[in-house]
Amino acid sequence: MTRKIGIIGDGHVGATVANYIVVNGLVDDLVMIDKNEAKVNADAIDFREGMPNLPFHTNITVNDYDALKDADIVISALGKIKLSNNDSDNRFAELSFNIDQVKEVAPKIRDSGFNGILIAITNPVDVITQLYQQITGLPKKHVIGTGTLLDSARMKQAVGEKLGIDSRSVTGYNLGEHGNSQFTAWSTVRALDQPITELAKSRNLDLDALDQAARYGGFTVMQGKGYTSYGIASAAVRLAKTVLSDARTVLPVSNYRSDYGVYFSYPVVVGRDGIIEDVPLDLTDEEKDKLQASADFIKKNIEKYGEK
């Protein structure tokens, strides 16, 4: 059975996602779509010219929405990063522009007959993921945002660096919005086979400082090069691979939370059928309050910047 992924948006992030996919031979067929035809065609040629030096072959199709019909996954990487550059601490700065883009793209995805898993990277990702679901009519469990998969990685990197261990040896989650209201749920974090709350006492760790490192890591990258790409692309590719291989992995991704009436990040089991099941967490009362505040923040900003 062939594997196919479509990528909508060939900017810094979309092109990096495509590169990971081609270099690692993740799929047999890749569909690349972007309004900038010169750029997307150039990237397609560039990838094809690289294939003689790769151990994999990938068939690449450009700007053909009909080719998405039998895709396993469509990844939305569209956006206008210059809007965030003008307001670098606010992911909602892109909302009005990206809403218009999604309204143009989502019906084309729907009309292609696509019936796979839709993964949204586009910011503000929780709102955009919900909009994609509403327009495409795909089941909620089949429309997923990368959410705090990246923020959780940033937290693990900060904790691992502080403890002098590999970041992959740290477990736990950042929850809520992929944005200013997200937070590290320290009750879920473990390292060196101990709860981080206990380690903090013996190692004199400043959890607030580590939370800030996870929260604002992306803005540090933005200030340095004007955009982020590698971290978020690796998160998106990990999510796509989890779906393709039916890995049934627990991931903190943006998914629809019926009890809050909004998309935000909370750990779920992800597999070939999208969101397989919820993962209950024993959060502290303070963390529950922060989660509610994050949900409220998303709703408030939908009203402020987007559609009611």
End-to-end CA distance of the chain: 42
pTM exceeds 0.85, yes or no = yes
Catalytic site residue 178? yes
Which of 117, 145, 173 is at the close of a domain? 145
- Determine whether the annotation assigns residue 34 to a binding site: yes
Residues 6+ apart with CB under 8 A from 227: 12, 13, 81, 85, 221
Catalytic residue of the set 3, 4, 178, 290: 178
CATH number at residue 92: 3.40.50.720
pLDDT of amino acid 214? 82
- Determine whether the annotation assigns residue 19 to a binding site: no
CATH number at residue 154: 3.90.110.10
pLDDT of amino acid 308? 39
Q: Are residues 261 and 136 in the same domain?
A: no
Which of 145, 166, 196 is at the close of a domain? 145
Q: Are residues 125 and 198 in the same domain?
A: no
What is the per-residue pLDDT across 128-159, written as a single tens digit (0 to 9) for each? 999 999 999 999 999 999 999 999 999 999 99
Give the structural domain span for 125. 4-145
The mean per-residue pLDDT over the stretch 43-49 comes to 98
| In the predicted structure, residue 86 carries a pLDDT above the cut 70 | no
Cross-strand bridge partners of residue 118: 74, 143
Q: Are residues 77 and 202 in the same domain?
A: no
Please tell me the distance from the alpha carbon of residue 28 to that of residue 286, in angstroms, as a whole number.
Answer: 47
- Determine whether the annotation assigns residue 10 to a binding site: yes
Residue 55: how many other CB atoms lie within 10 Å? 8
The mean per-residue pLDDT over the stretch 114-125 comes to 97
Q: Are residues 112 and 222 in the same domain?
A: no
Please tell me the distance from the alpha carbon of residue 133 to that of residue 120, in angstroms, as a whole number.
Answer: 10
- Determine whether the annotation assigns residue 11 to a binding site: yes
Q: Cβ-count burial of 265 within 10 angstroms (0-12 exposed, 13-18 middle, 19+ buried)?
A: buried
Q: Are residues 299 and 154 in the same domain?
A: yes
pLDDT of amino acid 96? 86
- Determine whether the annotation assigns residue 122 to a binding site: yes
Which of 145, 166, 184 is at the close of a domain? 145
